[in-house]
Amino acid sequence: MNTSSYTTSADIPRQRWLRIIPPILIACIISYMDRVNIAFAMPGGMDQDLGITATMAGLAGGIFFLGYLFLQVPGGKIAVHGSGKKFIGWSLVAWAVISVLTGLVTNHYQLLALRFLLGVAEGGMLPVVLTMISNWFPDAERGRANAIVIMFVPIAGIITAPLSGWIITALDWRWLFIIEGLLSLVVLVLWVLTIYDRPQEARWISDAEKNYLVETLAAEQRAIAGKTVVNASLSAVLSDRTMWQLIALNFFYQTGIYGYTLWLPTILKELTHTSMGQVGMLAILPYVGAIAGMFLFSSLSDRTGKRKLFVSLPLIGFATCMFLSVVLKESVWLSYTALVGCGFFLQSAAGVFWTIPARLFSAEMAGGARGVINALGNLGGFCGPYAVGVLITLYSKDAGVYCLAISLAIAALMALLLPSKCDAKASSVGVVNAPKRAV
């Protein structure tokens, strides 16, 4: 069967966009809600009830990412060799239990322990879902598919902000964790009934779409045959120089992302001096902007093949808006506009960034590579919230925000320094992490 005819044909069904993307997106949304609801709980009464300082709040927000390290590489490998569906299914059960228990804590030591365990439970999610996306979407579609899935961040923000504000106002911060934990069990039912790991396993897929995916992904995998080690070990992954560039870039990026995300409700509350319900509503607009930014930059990147450029530009914009949010603080609405600008650029680089590992590594190597990049890079998720908390305690909120802006500027520079092989020819199929069974 001729692969190129599939690639250029407009008649190939596209059910994968409706059948695969929504359940993955919903599972990611619920994970993110469980991850960041502490950002609303802290200014919503948790800090007072548990006697938590700004430094401890930063530690509670960031310790999640220490636990996040443990299942990154195993998760990526399980998705390549086994079943990402089962992995995420059991993860949803763990998220539900841990979130409910968080609503019952009586001191900050219990809170730290449960936040760490939540990080462990969520650790394998991103490499698993990105590998599943690579099993279903060729390189020419992957930037957009990744962007839609990674859109779980702004969508979760849009849902979490008003929901958290309303629950805290109507009930209290404890019910915030209990209710959102129970939502994980609802999502589990949807996940079990709808998702499939690979095209070959799906019962709903047409022969035309299945053959297109199997043939195209296999052809893309053959394009990197001989360029990478098929049975790559973890040591081989870690010996690659570009791998460490990607890890460092992701580290500084995640420092900015989670420093902003976990402190945004507190910053808004201090800026506007309003209630948590109003803070929740104000926090929606940055995440609405994030959706627009992700669509814009991922589409431009897929159209031009310029991955480096469309990782660096959003990072520059993010750093600039972060800086302006402090410079313009004398005007509440100008400062808020800058914070909305931060939201526009918040995840714009992410969908493009995660197309790069599949261009550099074989299917065997890419699953583990994603896990390593996400695990070590997400240590920035610990450093960002904690650094802001420390700087608030020692100096001021402004110092914490400036720190995040500098981190994002470093990430933008590192993106520009990536090798040219990270870019794709706009007209080419490119190279991809094909499912192992399709090779």
**pLDDT given at position 104:** 94
pTM > 0.85: no
The SS3 call for residue 342 is helix
Q: Which amino acid is at 85?
A: K
**pLDDT given at position 157:** 82
| Tens-place pLDDT, residues 34-51 | 888 888 898 888 988 998
**pLDDT given at position 425:** 57
**pLDDT given at position 228:** 45
| Tens-place pLDDT, residues 255-297 | 998 888 888 888 888 888 888 888 888 889 998 898 889 888 8
**pLDDT given at position 283:** 87
**pLDDT given at position 42:** 87
**pLDDT given at position 437:** 34
Question: Cα(87)–Cα(81) distance, rounded to whole angstroms?
Answer: 12
Q: Which amino acid is at 375?
A: A
Give Cβ neighbours of residue 293 (< 8 Å, ≥ 6 apart).
314, 343, 344, 345, 346, 347, 348
**pLDDT given at position 367:** 64
Q: Which amino acid is at 58?
A: G
Task: Copy the structure tokens of residue 425.
Answer: 């020819």
**pLDDT given at position 409:** 95
Write out the H or E segment, with its range, that includes residue 324: helix 309-327
Residue ranges of the chain with per-residue pLDDT less than 70: 1-11, 224-237, 362-364, 366-368, 424-439
Q: What is the 3-state secondary structure (H, E, C) of 103-119?
A: CCCCCHHHHHHHHHHHH
| 176 alpha carbon, distance to own chain's centre | 22
CB of 117 closer than 8 Å to CB of 111: no
Q: What is the DSSP string of 215-251?
A: HHHHHHHHHTTTTS-TT--HHHHHT-HHHHHHHHHHH
**pLDDT given at position 82:** 78
CB of 174 closer than 8 Å to CB of 164: no
Question: Cα(185)–Cα(30) distance, rounded to whole angstroms?
Answer: 10
| 142 alpha carbon, distance to own chain's centre | 15
- 18 by Cβ neighbours in 10 Å (0-12 / 13-18 / 19+) ranks as exposed
